[in-house]
Amino acid sequence: MMNFVVKTLANAGALLVAIWLVQDITLTGDSTGKKALSLVLVALIFGLVNVVVKPVVKLLTLPLFILTLGLITLVINALMLLLTSWLADQFSLNFHVEGFWTAVLGGLIISLVSWALNVALPDKD
């Protein structure tokens, strides 16, 4: 259970950094509390997308992964971020990613920051 909380907080932190650095990734809300709640809920959606959808997409794109020497991962991460944005919109959360190239940059930032946070944060159950 603790590992799930740590991973969710790492995702929330990585999403927050991407929102801060990339102009076309937005999180809006009436108050700071609503923004924080939306950020945590978006982090949960992002985590579920990465656990459920991403492995299937990676398996289906295995030949492209080999052909591009892994660079297709940037596209997959961007698509997962766009899917998260779409799902957040379906749940009326105020998180939005504007465009594919914004999602590529955001996915790269999120990958780097979440990797660093997962290294720094404890990994106990």
What pLDDT digit, counting tens, does each position of 52-90 carry?
998 999 899 999 999 999 899 999 999 999 999 999 999
CA dist 104 and 76 (Å) reads 9
Which pLDDT value is given to residue 24?
A: 93
Give residue 69's identity as a one-letter amino acid code. L
**Predicted structure pTM score:** 0.89
User: Residue 27: in which H helix or E strand, if any?
Assistant: strand 25-27
In the predicted structure, residue 123 carries a pLDDT above the cut 70:
no
CA 115 remoteness from chain centre:
12
CA dist 125 and 112 (Å) reads 23
26: left (phi over 0), alpha (psi -120 to 50) or beta: beta
